[in-house]
Amino acid sequence: MTYRTSVTGFPRIGRNRELKFASEKFFKGEITEEELKKTAASLRSYGWKKQQEAGITFIPSNDFSFYDNVLDTAFLLNAVPQRYTSLGFSDLETYFAAAHGYQGTAGDVKALPMKKWFNTNYHYIVPELSDDTQIALSKDNKVLCEYNEAKALGIQTVPSVTGPYTFLRLSSFTGTKKAENFAGAAVNAFADLALSLSKAGAQWISFAEPALVLDLSEGEKSLFNSIYTKLLSKIREASKIKTILQTYFGDVRDAYREICSAGFDGIALDFVEGKKSLELIESGFPKDTLLFAGIINGKNIWRADYSKKSALLSKIAESVPEENTVISTSCSLLHVPYTTASEEKLAEGIKKHFAFAEEKLTELHDLSAQDRSAFEKNRKLFETERVFKTAGVQKALSSLSVDDFERKPDFFEREKIQHKAFKLPLFPTTTIGSFPQTQDVRANRASYRKGDLSKEQYVAFNQKKITECIKLQEELGLDVLVHGEFERNDMVEYFGSQLYGYIFTQNAWVQSYGTRCVKPPVIWSDVSRKEPMTVEWSVYAQKQTDKIVKGMLTGPVTILNWSFPREDISLKEQALQIALAIREEVLDLEKNGIKIIQIDEAALREKLPLRRSDWHTEYLDWAIPAFRLVHAKVKPETQIHTHMCYSEFNDIIRDIDAMDADVITFEASRADLKILDALKKADFRTETGPGVYDIHSARVPSVEEISAALEKMLAKIPKEKLWVNPDCGLKTRGNEETRASLKNLVEAAGKLREKFSA
């Protein structure tokens, strides 16, 4: 028996990040829109052909995006706020204005909000629906265009689109109407889409509905039923196209019965993260329906163990006939790099353990064909020990006690001590850490990495940049300064490179959002610190000023979540290993006179289980203690900050307070400061700085705009606890806009101080 195969989605940034560089040239006016589109077409063609060569049966189309697939769907449905369409731009320019804002002669608009895509490091743009929004299929039918594009190459694809239920579930509603009020129009639009694809020759259409793996209320299940009862009926009446319900990132236990009875021709379930997926199909699966079994991990880079996957397929076969089973990736492969073939510097002994996107195509082929030689090679790979435990790390872990996680004295006593020691004004101003990584900064790092610069030259350049950065912050009047992080390429890779247990790739880039790509390091073995990592830079910066300079670190949970983790030990053990290493750095910074230490946990929410019942038992019960382990031994005079961004924190706000930091800064501006209500409701004790402007946009916020945000914050946060800061680090911004934005930030804080001192 040879299984049919399917891929949920393929990477789209290009093996060498071609989409990133072409998009950025387009933003600068260096290439035309047509040239950008030509680059995009070549990337789509590459992915389709690779999948065709691998023998994939069901190849997706419309998985490509210039920025984000959810934003694509908003444009597909004409659900775009008028403030963007009225700019008078081309469709693509309007799309980018919605994605990252615009400030210029045509107007001044903020970007739409951006949030984490379920439990990944990818970000999606939140659609905005007002009472005036008229959902209808756009004349610029991207889904149809890309299907026809693949067809012209001789490749039959399965057009995939964010489904109407997930689209409405993720949207924000600015008026009185809610999801159910838009459901009818959405059904008509998606039915029109299916008909247009059927007329073009498409045999299948796939509706991606990852929101079905969340906890569902009766109302939400009713919405799903209402949408698909009508949609599937309309599709069957008007066309012969077959339908797939695509789910991923978990199991669909709350809606399984409804899904099975809806009448889909194919149902895609995740058997990697879906803990109950096997149990669900054992309870019954609709006859004459294809099961797209997601058994190849689409989110991690380790080779699949063929013996375990075969055993899983045997279990599945007890409930679903093999001829009705299609083996697939658990989710889109956009969460992994393109191919290990690009890793020329990795030893073969290491590389053989990895499967990036193209290698996962091979895994699907091997499992489908039950290739004996491939199975034998795979068996030998998994029979050998990959790594061994490190005695020192294991001893440190086993020696941990309750005292290692408890900071003394308590928060309120520390707050008094720190206020007396620092004498900061009301509404202290600061930034989140990084300053613009300009071309000369990147060139300096690259030259040093290549050996073209001596260490002395490299250090001298960075010290000059630090001095300039400190001087700029003093001129602007910021209260708590940062050194700018000119030595850092990435907030996780930088630390990973100085820890035992990590390995690094050359070209293993994945998309985080838009043009932002990251190269996650790989946790290979037990983790420990080699030597001090940031002390030299922080001490140098502090010597340049009488003001306090924050030490800047990345927290253990974020380092873990933004790495490719091991699969042979638990996430909890990996987090505690990293925490012990970062604790050493924290204590060294304190020992060297650094009075404020920021330990960023930008990704705290990222691995939070999608089901509330699993939050504590599977994550928070070790993630929060891992952070506390890092700072529990510092003196009461040392102030601990942390930062979090681009996630929804409202429902775990009490757990965040339990991190026992002294100050927490949040991304807030793109979410319209909605976190403020949660802070007030939870009686949040930690001093806090909700971001007053969005750093992912090139626009400069006015003093009035920042002042209005601060007034809104003061309605929910006591004035003694409010800090003033941007949303996130300034790494991706330019020097001029950074200076202008921070100048306005300081001026707005000053006006507020005058108001309270009057």
CA-nearest of 593, 603, 600 to 635 is 593
Distance CA 348, CA 332 (A): 26
Q: Burial code of 686-701, b = ≥16 C-beta within 10 A, e = fewer?
A: bbbbbbbbbbbbbbbb
Q: Cis peptide before 409, with omega less than 30 degrees from 0?
A: yes
Active site residue 483: no
For residues 507 and 337, the answer to whether their CB atoms sit within 8 Å is yes
| Helix or strand (DSSP H, E) at 157 | strand 157-162
Q: Which amino acid is at 236?
A: R
Q: Which amino acid is at 206?
A: S
The region that residue 263 occupies, defined by phi over 0 for left and psi between -120 and 50 for alpha, beta otherwise, is left
User: And the tokens for 456?
Assistant: 């002395």
User: And the tokens for 164?
Assistant: 């109407």
Phi, psi of 466 (to 5 degrees): -60, -45
CA angle, 121 then 126 then 131, to 5°: 170
For CA atoms 186, 13, 51, 273, give the dihedral sign: negative
Distance CA 637, CA 747 (A): 29
Question: Given the DSSP bridges, would you call strands 499-503 and 522-529 parallel, antiparallel or unpaired?
Answer: antiparallel
Residue with tokens 């919405």: 223
CA angle, 243 then 48 then 71, to 5°: 65
Distance CA 51, CA 338 (A): 12
Distance CA 620, CA 612 (A): 11
CA dist list (Å): 412 to 52, 416, 419, 683: 62, 7, 11, 14
- Tell me the Cα Rg of the chain: 26
CA-nearest of 485, 525, 520, 482 to 502 is 525
Residues sharing a CB contact under 8 Å with residue 350, sequence separation 6 or more, in sequence order: 503, 524
CA-nearest of 352, 331, 7 to 155 is 7
The single residue of 100, 123, 643, 696 carrying the catalytic annotation is 696
Distance CA 372, CA 382 (A): 15
Residues sharing a CB contact under 8 Å with residue 432, sequence separation 6 or more, in sequence order: 482, 598, 600, 643, 665, 691, 695, 725, 726, 727, 728, 729, 730
Active site residues: 696
